[in-house]
C-alpha cells in the first residue's frame, strides 16, 4: 500500500490474476514478507491518508495533501480530505468481504502459501548462511530468479504479462504453480521449484 491520492490497493490497480501471482512471489521467496491488513482475503477497500487534526493544522494538512498530488498524472483535484471522518471509515476493513466465498477462497490461497513457506523456505533460512541470488531470465513482464542455499536451490519463475513467456529450463521439484505449469508460462502465472542438494562451490 503506497502513498497514493486515492489509497488504491494493489488488487484494484493490477487485478486479481496479477495480484495472486505477486502474492505467491512474496510469500515463496526467501525475503521477509509483509502483508498489509486485508491482503490475505483480497480486501479492495482503499487505505487512505487520514488524520484527526483540528484548526490551522487540519487546514494545512488538507491543503498540503491536495497540493502534493496536484501535478501527478492521473489524479484530479478530488483528493480525500484527511480530516473528514468518512476518509477514515472508507479505509476500514470490510469483514463481510472476508466472510464471503471469494474472501474465503483468497484466505485459503494465502494459508496454503504460508504452509509451503514453512515447509520449504523456513528450514533453508534456519540453516543459516546468506542465499546467493541469481537472475535466470528477465523480460518486460516475466522474471525467473533462483536462490542457492546450503541445502538446495529455490527458484521462482513468473509472468504478469498478457502473453505466454518462454523460460529457460529450471531444475527442481515443482512445489507450487498457479494456475497451471507449462513449458512457456501462461499469462498471470507462477511456478516455484526446489532442487535438493548442497550448493556448488
Cell digits for 187?
499469462
Domains and CATH numbers, the chain: 10-44+94-196 (2.60.40.1180), 55-90 (no CATH)
Residue 127 Rama label (left phi>0; alpha psi -120 to 50; beta): alpha
Q: Please name the residue that has the C-alpha cell 513449458.
A: 183
Strand-strand pairing, 152-159 and 184-185: unpaired
Backbone φ, ψ for residue 158 (5° rounding): -140, 155
Cell digits for 81?
480530505
Report the SS3 class of residue 102.
helix
Q: 3-state DSSP: the chain helix, strand, coil percent, rounded to 5?
A: 35, 20, 45
Backbone φ, ψ for residue 15 (5° rounding): 90, 165
pLDDT number for residue 1 = 58
Cell digits for 26?
512474496
pLDDT in tens, the chain (201 residues): 567 888 899 999 999 999 999 999 999 999 999 999 999 999 999 999 999 999 999 999 998 888 888 876 655 568 899 999 999 999 999 999 999 999 999 999 999 999 999 999 999 999 876 688 999 999 999 999 999 998 899 999 999 999 999 888 999 999 999 987 666 789 999 999 999 876 443
User: In angstroms, what CA-CA distances link 5 with 16, 46, 52, 54, 87?
Assistant: 21, 10, 18, 21, 12
Q: Are 131 and 30 in contact (CB under 8 A)?
A: yes
Q: DSSP letters along 20-79, please?
A: HHHHHHHHTSSSPP-PPTTGGGT--S---------HHHHHHHHHHHHHHHHTSTT--S-P
Which DSSP symbol is given to 19? H
pLDDT number for residue 51 = 93
- Whole-model pTM over 0.85: yes
pLDDT number for residue 82 = 92
pLDDT number for residue 128 = 79
Amino acid at each position: 500500500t503506497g502513498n497514493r491520492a486515492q489509497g488504491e490497493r494493489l488488487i484494484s490497480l493490477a487485478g486479481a490474476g496479477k495480484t495472486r501471482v505477486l502474492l505467491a512471489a512474496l510469500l515463496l521467496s526467501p525475503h521477509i514478507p509483509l502483508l498489509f491488513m486485508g491482503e490475505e482475503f483480497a480486501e479492495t477497500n482503499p487505505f487512505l491518508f487520514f488524520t484527526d487534526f483540528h484548526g490551522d493544522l487540519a487546514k494545512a494538512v488538507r491543503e498540503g495533501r491536495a497540493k502534493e498530488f496536484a501535478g501527478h498524472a492521473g489524479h484530479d483535484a478530488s483528493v480525500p480530505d484527511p480530516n473528514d471522518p468518512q476518509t477514515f471509515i472508507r479505509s476500514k476493513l470490510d469483514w463481510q468481504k472476508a466472510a464471503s466465498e471469494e474472501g474465503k477462497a483468497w484466505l485459503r490461497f494465502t494459508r496454503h502459501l504460508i504452509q509451503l513457506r514453512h515447509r520449504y523456505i523456513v528450514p533453508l533460512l534456519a540453516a543459516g548462511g546468506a542465499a546467493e541470488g541469481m537472475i535466470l531470465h528477465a523480460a518486460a513482464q516475466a522474471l525467473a530468479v533462483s536462490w542457492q542455499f546450503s541445502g538446495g536451490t529455490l527458484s521462482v519463475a513468473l509472468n504478469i504479462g498478457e502473453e505466454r513467456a518462454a523460460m529457460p529450463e529450471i531444475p527442481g521439484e515443482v512445489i507450487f504453480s498457479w494456475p497451471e505449469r507449462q513449458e512457456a508460462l501462461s499469462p498471470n502465472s507462477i511456478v516455484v521449484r526446489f532442487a535438493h542438494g548442497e550448493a556448488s562451490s
